[in-house]
Amino acid sequence: MAMLPVIWSLPAEVSYVETMSFLQELSETAAIRLIEEVGETIQKITQFNKICPPSPRKTQYRRCTLLDGRVSLYYRLKKTQIEIIAVRDNRRKPKF
């Protein structure tokens, strides 16, 4: 299977920056770990598209947990690409 390109939706970019800012206020180390884990997770998703389970609330999205379950990365599979939908801190009210 060919690896699909990954694109970020505008809401995903915004939610990533918001989550990063929130974590940076708490711990510089946590913010750096988030950057690393997002990169590693995206690499895994490109190789194994369904590595993360479907989101419990919206099953058309898949949900990967990062930072020991404190952050979730949501994505969906399309025919020609993988779209990152959101990166959210799990301590906030869930949307997905």
**C-alpha to C-alpha distance for 69 and 51, rounded to whole angstroms:** 16
How do beta strands 82-89 and 6-8 pair? Answer: parallel
Q: What does the pLDDT average to over 32-37?
A: 96
Q: Which structural domains are found in the chain, ordered by start?
A: 6-89 (3.30.2310.20)
**C-alpha to C-alpha distance for 40 and 18, rounded to whole angstroms:** 20
The structure's pTM equals 0.90
**C-alpha to C-alpha distance for 47 and 60, rounded to whole angstroms:** 19
State residue 89's pLDDT score. Answer: 93
Alpha helices in 1-96 (DSSP H): 10-26, 28-47
**C-alpha to C-alpha distance for 96 and 60, rounded to whole angstroms:** 10
3-state DSSP assignment of residue 14 = helix
State residue 2's pLDDT score. Answer: 67
Query: Tens of pLDDT along 37-95?
Result: 999 999 999 999 999 999 998 999 999 999 999 999 999 999 999 999 999 999 876 66
Question: Which residues are paired to 86 by β-bridges?
Answer: 74
